[in-house]
Amino acid sequence: MQAITIKDFEDWRAVARVLIANATRPSEVQLFEDDGQQALFAEDPTLRQAPTAQSSFGVPSRFLSLAESVGCHRAAGRWDLLFRILWRIKNEKKNLLEIETDDDVLQLTKMEKQVRRDAHKMKAFVRFRKVVQDGQEFFVAWHQPDHRIVRRVAPFFSRRFSGMNWTILTPDECVSWNQESLEYGSGVSRSQTPQSDELEELWRTYYASIFNPARVKIKMMKSEMPVRYWKNLPETDLIADLLAEAPRRVEEMIEQHEGFDKTADDFIKRFPNQLMTLSALKQMAAGCTACHLHCNATQTVFGAGPANARIVLLGEQPGDQEDLTGDPFVGPAGEVLEEAIGSAGLDRRELYVTNIVKHFKHTQISSPESSRPPRGKKRLHQKPNAREVRACRPWFDAEWSCLKEAEKLVCLGATSAKAVLGPGIKLTDQRGRVCGSDYCQQTFVTWHPSVILRASNAAARESKMRELIEDLVLAKDSV
């Protein structure tokens, strides 16, 4: 039995070459790890001779790359295993590696996988800390790999961080990159690494925030990020707290809801199509409590107009007067609309007029401070929010499907225009032209008459009114 000490992969390669040339069998030799001590036995100096033409031979390139990788493994028996497989490839079967269920091959591929995984984890788990010295930035990391992989992985870091000065410290070996070349040094202890980096708090915030407490899978986390790496990762001490809080957070998420349990849909009784009429809908809508707006309003203000109307006007919501009378557009804004309809050569009695939200949303305020004594509460219009629009919208959808001859839809104001054409639209961009919608090709948008009431001066009022009339004319005349 011959005992040989192996320094590294290149050394093994040289020795193995000679052993094969000498027809030494695996059972006749034992390959030891070089532990830095004097060899126990005097070794044959011819073992490390340069290869000659006779002694060199070919092996499958796959074996070489596997062997180089397994050479980094920490297991003591790796040099023997490699030599045994080499010998078998030479003497037993050239394609030995293709038989993956062979016990030697199985062992080889398993060790190769361990090294590859360790190298991959090094690429993943090295954490640099920034140090500034003489105005120059350096990035320093401490890492404890399972195997001797520093030289296998260092080139990856030099490609990735080519424009940085960095150093990776490990117990076996250290490596530095100065933006030009890699330099290796001997291993160090952890105490030589910088203790903190100001970015770590942000990173921990990110880690805690990206975690979804509703999908806890600890086993999966531990298999991919084994616990032995945790001590060098700044984020992992958050794990215990994140897990402890997870059940409570999920319960809260499941229990807490926003918005309304219902929409108008829940109040629409499903009649056969031919029995569904506007007046039946109006009756159903009178009892609608889908959103909370009904609480402070007098009544539901449903649309009004003939069932055979060809043009439909859609406003935002009823106002103070409408809320009291129960009919749409009967207050001051209604008067402006009436005037515009007339000027456009239309007849209101032929139009169907309605709102996208059917209850009056308002706040109560004391009337403005003035010399006059207060006159009690005044109801001030409030814009309905998207949630209220969504809850109420099925009423308009149902109205639309009852209006069998409707072929043109005019949205008055941004609230209804956005509900019909999408939230990204701008009234100023869309008015004055035909815009197709899910309801009908001939959809138009224009000013809400209340804009004209609120205009700050006569000129603005006039121009807005002119545009409203123009838009109604456009709707009337377009085909």
Contact between 210 and other proteins (CB under 8 A)?
yes
Contact between 99 and other proteins (CB under 8 A)?
yes
Contact between 294 and other proteins (CB under 8 A)?
no
> Which of 180, 424, 457, 458 is the binder for other proteins (CB under 8 A)?
424
Q: Which is nearer to other proteins, 53 or 254 (CB)?
A: 254
User: Could you give the angle at the alpha carbon of 426 between the alpha carbons of 383 and 415, nearest 5°?
Assistant: 25
> Which of 27, 36, 40, 257 is the binder for other proteins (CB under 8 A)?
257
CB-CB contact of 406 with 277 (8 Å): no
- The single residue listed with the structure tokens 């002694």 is 55
Contact between 57 and other proteins (CB under 8 A)?
no
Instruction: Single out the segment in contact with other proteins by CB under 8 A; choices: 65-73, 99-107, 328-336, 458-466.
Output: 99-107
Contact between 132 and other proteins (CB under 8 A)?
no
CB-CB contact of 93 with 116 (8 Å): no
For the bound state, the minimum distance from the C-beta of residue 13 to other proteins, rounded and expressed in Å, comes to 26
> Which of 14, 18, 47, 221 is the binder for other proteins (CB under 8 A)?
221
Distance CA 383, CA 111 (A): 68
> Which of 32, 63, 138, 260 is the binder for other proteins (CB under 8 A)?
260
Contact between 201 and other proteins (CB under 8 A)?
yes
- The single residue listed with the structure tokens 């006779």 is 54
Contact between 242 and other proteins (CB under 8 A)?
yes
CB-CB contact of 131 with 194 (8 Å): yes
- DSSP 8-state symbol, 47: G
Distance CA 105, CA 208 (A): 43
Three-class SS of residue 336?
helix
Residues 6+ apart with CB under 8 A from 290: 260, 262, 263, 264, 266, 267, 391, 392
> Which of 233, 286, 324, 453 is the binder for other proteins (CB under 8 A)?
233
For the bound state, the minimum distance from the C-beta of residue 99 to other proteins, rounded and expressed in Å, comes to 5
CB-CB contact of 169 with 142 (8 Å): yes
Q: Which residues make beta-bridge pairs with 411?
A: 314, 445
CB-CB contact of 291 with 391 (8 Å): yes
Q: Of 154-183, which residues contact other proteins (CB under 8 A)?
A: 156, 159-164
Q: Which is nearer to other proteins, 131 or 188 (CB)?
A: 131
Distances (CA, A) of 428 to 413, 445, 452, 454: 10, 9, 15, 17
Size of the site for other proteins (CB under 8 A): 76
Contact between 205 and other proteins (CB under 8 A)?
yes
Q: Of 310-349, which residues contact other proteins (CB under 8 A)?
A: none
For the bound state, the minimum distance from the C-beta of residue 334 to other proteins, rounded and expressed in Å, comes to 29
For the bound state, the minimum distance from the C-beta of residue 255 to other proteins, rounded and expressed in Å, comes to 7
Q: Which is nearer to other proteins, 34 or 429 (CB)?
A: 429
